[in-house]
């Protein structure tokens, strides 16, 4: 997977388009948010194999269990993690939320994560693990 030449503009447009999109299992959850962001930057959809497999929290938990959890899914898609301090714009990170671990995207000094009513932004220091895109 390689980023397209205009990936910074694509990432910015993606983040802007998703700012107010509400959470929805199997459509707009943390994992598919990240997969959609990767697709915007690379033209490749790493979430294609999971789309349509679940529409509920229970279904999502089954997919995560079968793929090593949130971090296991990121590793399956992107390879071995790197230290969070090495995460740069457009890279994938794991953060802790009240609901548990969540995948998110590094957007510079902040991390964008799918929230209940739209994107939530966290400081980059919230990243517990990261993967290069």
Identify the CATH assignment for 7-131 out of 3.40.50.300, 3.40.190.10, 3.90.105.10, 3.90.1720.10: 3.90.1720.10
Task: Cite the beta strand spans of the chain per DSSP E.
Answer: 92-97, 100-106, 110-114, 119-123, 129-131
How many Cβ atoms sit within 10 Å of the Cβ of residue 121? 15
**Cα–Cα nearest to 30, from 105, 114, 95, 88:** 114
Q: Are 38 and 83 in contact (CB under 8 A)?
A: no
pLDDT tens digits along 74-96: 999 999 999 999 999 999 999 99
pLDDT the model gives residue 46: 96
Domain boundaries, the chain: 7-131
pLDDT tens digits along 88-118: 999 999 999 888 899 999 999 999 999 999 9
Q: Are 10 and 103 in contact (CB under 8 A)?
A: no
Residue 12: C-alpha distances to residues 7, 15, 37, 51, 70 (Å): 8, 5, 10, 24, 24
- Residues with Cβ within 8 Å of residue 46, at least 6 apart in sequence: 1, 35, 38, 39, 77, 78
pLDDT the model gives residue 70: 94
Average pLDDT over residues 48-56: 94
pTM for the model:
0.95
């Amino acid at each position: 997977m390689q980023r397209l030449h205009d990936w910074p503009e694509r990432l910015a447009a993606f983040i802007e388009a998703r700012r107010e999109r509400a959470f929805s299992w199997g459509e707009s959850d943390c994992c598919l948010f990240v997969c959609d962001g990767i697709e915007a930057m690379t033209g490749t959809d790493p979430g294609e194999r999971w789309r349509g497999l679940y529409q509920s929290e229970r279904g999502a938990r089954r997919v995560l269990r079968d793929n090593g959890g949130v971090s296991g899914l990121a590793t399956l898609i992107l390879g071995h993690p790197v230290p969070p301090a090495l995460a740069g714009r457009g890279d994938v990170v794991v953060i802790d939320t009240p609901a548990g671990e969540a995948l998110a995207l590094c957007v510079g000094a902040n991390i964008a994560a799918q929230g209940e009513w739209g994107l939530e932004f966290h400081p980059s220091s919230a990243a517990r693990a990261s993967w290069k895109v």
